[in-house]
Structure 1
Amino acid sequence: MGSSDPVRVPVREPVRRVVVGVDGSPTSHAALRWAAGYARETGAVVEVVYAWDTPSSAGWTGPAIDPEFDLEQAHERFAAELQSVFGDERPAGLREVLVEGDPSEVLIRASEGADLVVVGRRGRGGFARAMLGSVSQRVAQHAACPVVVVRPEQTPDAVR
């Protein structure tokens, strides 16, 4: 190979990354199942984000979290949630992300560089009749990539 020969660098397809927010609610379980089905069909990696916000004394209206809630408790809840959704057959390519912070802000930041964000229609907070929860609405409005909002009755077969 002479000095004027071009250097050939193998081109790799970028890893597709799907971010899904979970909070223990049935709609977040549906979103997680949907994201796993989508990933299976497309070869994407699923980044499962569990975010919690420690309540402040003024005006916080999210799910009740003990102010002493810590990373160990978050990890236990997260592991229980994954077990609840997948049992012992967790899909390959599942990445766990635990972050203390406002869930909508955490998901919006995670959307940067992602191919897709998946959220449940409504999570733990809010009004039962609301079309979208506050987190899903904020993520849909501000994410850096497309957003799928999943209803509880949607299944992985709906990916097609």
Structure 2
Amino acid sequence: MNTSEQSGQSEEPRRIVVGVDGSPTSYEALRWAVRQARLTGAKLEAWGAYDVPGAVGWSASGVDAAFDPQQARQAVSDEIRAVMDQSGDVPFEEHVAPGNPAAVLTEASVGADLLVVGSRGRGGFASLLLGSVSQQCAVHASCPVAIVRPGTTAA
């Protein structure tokens, strides 16, 4: 009997959070996280986030009337499942949330054992001004962060 069983407390399962944005590097991060979850017996949480175009920022243009949040959620969900359907034996949860990706992942990292992100995602010029998602997560996450670089995982 381990100490937590003796005290009547149940031990929380290990939890790995991974950010997915549809970029090749985020797929590598997801595959890396799957292998880490398999090695550690952790549950995997795959997180995607989307911002409503033009809804935030001091210099933002008007909100894109053609933007469909449900379509954005479905696209992120499809991207997560494209990789997870190949993993088979790793328990996972899929989450898609509106908001800044770094903020969504930082919040999801609370109570996690590890946060995994790709080193470069779909960002563009704005990410150069504001700091990349991986940099923001490395600074603000509530747990250790693994940043997966291109070419670190097998296809």
Q: TM-score, normalised by structure 1?
A: 0.76
Residues 1:38 and 1:107: Cα distance change in structure 2 (over 3 Å): same
Aligned to 2:67: 68
Across the two proteins, how many residue pairs are aligned to each other?
142
Instruction: Name structure 2 gaps, 5 residues minimum.
Output: 1-5
Indicate how the Cα distance of structure 1 residues 123 and 91 shifts in structure 2: closer, same or farther if over 3 A, else same. farther
Cα gap change, 1:68/1:140 in structure 2, threshold over 3 Å: closer, same or farther?
same
RMSD: 2.7
How far 1:86 moved relative to its partner? 4.2
User: Closer, same or farther in 2 for the Cα pair 1:66/1:85, shift >3 Å?
Assistant: farther
Q: How does 1:10-159 map to 2 (within 5 A)?
A: 10-56=8-54, 58-59=58-59, 68-70=67-69, 72-87=70-85, 89-126=87-124, 134-155=132-153
Tell me by how many angstroms 1:152 deviates: 2.1
Deviation at 1:32, TM superposition (A): 0.2
**How has the CA–CA distance of structure 1 residues 149 and 89 changed in structure 2, closer, same or farther, with 3 Å as cutoff?**
closer
Aligned-residue offset at 1:85: 2.2
CA distance in 2, matches of 1:88, 1:26: 16
What CA distance in whole angstroms lies between the structure 1 residues aligned with 2:93 and 2:118?
18
Contact 2:19 2:117 in 1 (8 A): yes
- Scaled by the length of structure 2, what TM-score is found? 0.78
Structure with greater helix percent: 2
Runs of 5+ in structure 1 lacking a partner?
Answer: 1-7
Superposed CA offset, 1:106-148 (max 9, x none): 0011111111000000100136xx8xx6111000011010000
2:98 and 2:144 mapped to 1: Cα distance? 24
Structure label with greater radius of gyration:
1
State the shift of 1:91 in Å. 4.0
